[in-house]
Amino acid sequence: MSSRLIPVWNREDIFSEYRDTPIGHLLEYHNLNVPFQSYTKAELLIGMCMDNRKHLHIPDNFAYIIRTGGGNLRYSEFKVSYAIAIGGVKAIALIAHNNCGMVNLYAKKDRYVQGLVDQAGWDREWAEEHFLHFAPMFEIGNELDFVLSEAKRLRLRYQKILIAPLLYKVEDNYLYLIQE
């Protein structure tokens, strides 16, 4: 995994196509602690996982953020389109993270079902059916491969929008560029 990850320790590390764009600004704010500018409207849409271990260092009003399991935007396209059409964003940052719970979901099936039975009072059969119905939609496989394929899919759909796949490492809280 790490051979495809590009750390951003200074402005020159940011890929030239992202420099001086909302993607570059995101990397500068989060990784480089660049002082915040003031924003009255969002410049960026961020799609990222709902995982509670991730927190972005960005200014108020800078970005729309859609948080879903695995950062999977397949079932959030209306919201993506809204951020572009009504919100006027010109860039999307897709942020995967390592150690994502949406990887290898089927290995978590028993725990998931038992959790719904114990924590939510569900019937076991109903919990199993729920898992089997939704797990295929939300399983992302490998974090890097998923975020790269999601970037490719969204680039075909929104051809005028700059789309960057990134990875958040939970152990150091930095964003990394991904060599495509």
pLDDT, tens only, 11-64:
999 999 999 999 999 999 999 999 999 999 999 999 999 988 888 999 999 999
For the chain, the domains span 2-101+141-178, 104-139
**In CATH, what number does 2-101+141-178 get?**
3.40.1050.10
pLDDT, tens only, 101-143:
899 999 999 999 999 999 999 999 999 999 999 999 899 889 9
Integer Cα distance of 159 and 145 in angstroms: 21
